[in-house]
Amino acid sequence: MNSLFSKYYDTLMGPLERKYFARIRVDLLKEARGNVLEIGSGTGLNFGYYTHAEKVTALEPNPKMTRKASQRATHATVPIEVIFGNAETLPFEDNTFDTIVGTLVLCTIPDPEKALSEIRRVCKNDGIVLFFEHIRLNNRYLGKLQDFLTPVWRHLCDGCHLNRNSSDLIKQIGFKVVGETRYFRNICVTVIAINKK
Ligand SMILES: C[S@@+](CC[C@H](N)C(=O)[O-])C[C@H]1O[C@@H](n2cnc3c(N)ncnc32)[C@H](O)[C@@H]1O
């Protein structure tokens, strides 16, 4: 784990959050209902935006991130429990959650297909999944530029891939997409999908 990235994550994200990302998170997370699981919750940047959830379980494998997240959880308006764990092996029974959330996380998870299968398993039938991700561009040159930059980027940003087709992965694994919004000339996307079992 790149400890500098964890240490300065909030500082690095601050300008982007204030100018662009916060409103995207607000719009997406107002859809989160009932018993919610957030995967790779990082420092808890989403926590203040849960308004309709009954409770949130926030799963995160990096202890440097969970420390900040636990502090943020105490200020949230809904109960939030921060736990240690990986999205590829979710420590929950089948059909546990009404909503599962992932923001800027499928880019970093080492095995995103396995994580998505696990999300399908622990999400109830007709449950909702909410994602906000950056993705590989379709543009021939810019997509290749993302491929070229990814090895260095991964090293600097704790495993983050600039060139993942995360929105395609969500569809391929079997979720029924009911809403997809592109941002910033298609480099970011929010996906709202239903888990049909
Ligand atoms: C770019 S950060 C995003 C954090 C947060 N979701 C946000 O929106 O600010 C990526 C996060 O994914 C987490 N992560 C890495 N591997 C993971 C895995 N296997 N399962 C779950 N989360 C993982 C990292 O520790 C980090 O907190």
> What residue spans define the domains of the chain?
3-194
Q: Whose CA is nearest to atom 13 of ligand 1?
A: 40
pLDDT band at 159 (very low <50, low <70, confident <90, very high): very high
Among 56, 60, 59, 58, which residue's Cα sits nearest to residue 36? Answer: 56
Phi, psi of 63 (to 5 degrees): -60, -30
Please write the tens of the pLDDT for every residue from 83-120.
Answer: 999 999 999 999 999 999 999 999 999 999 999 999 99
Using CA atoms, how far residue 166 sits from 48, 57, 88, 112, 183, in Å, is 25, 23, 15, 8, 14
User: Residue 1: what pLDDT?
Assistant: 59
Q: Determine whether the shortest distance from the Cβ of 14 to ligand 1 is under 6 A.
A: no
Please write the tens of the pLDDT for every residue from 64-74.
Answer: 999 999 999 99
Please write the tens of the pLDDT for every residue from 35-69.
Answer: 999 999 999 999 999 999 999 999 999 999 999 99
pLDDT band at 82 (very low <50, low <70, confident <90, very high): very high
CATH number, domain 3-194, options 1.10.1740.10, 1.10.630.10, 3.40.50.150, 3.30.479.30: 3.40.50.150
Report which residue type is found at 108. Answer: T
Q: Determine whether the shortest distance from the Cβ of 91 to ligand 1 is under 6 A.
A: no
User: Residue 169: what pLDDT?
Assistant: 97
User: Residue 5: what pLDDT?
Assistant: 86
Among 7-11, 30-34, 39-43, the minimum mean pLDDT is found in 7-11
Q: Determine whether the shortest distance from the Cβ of 85 to ligand 1 is under 6 A.
A: no
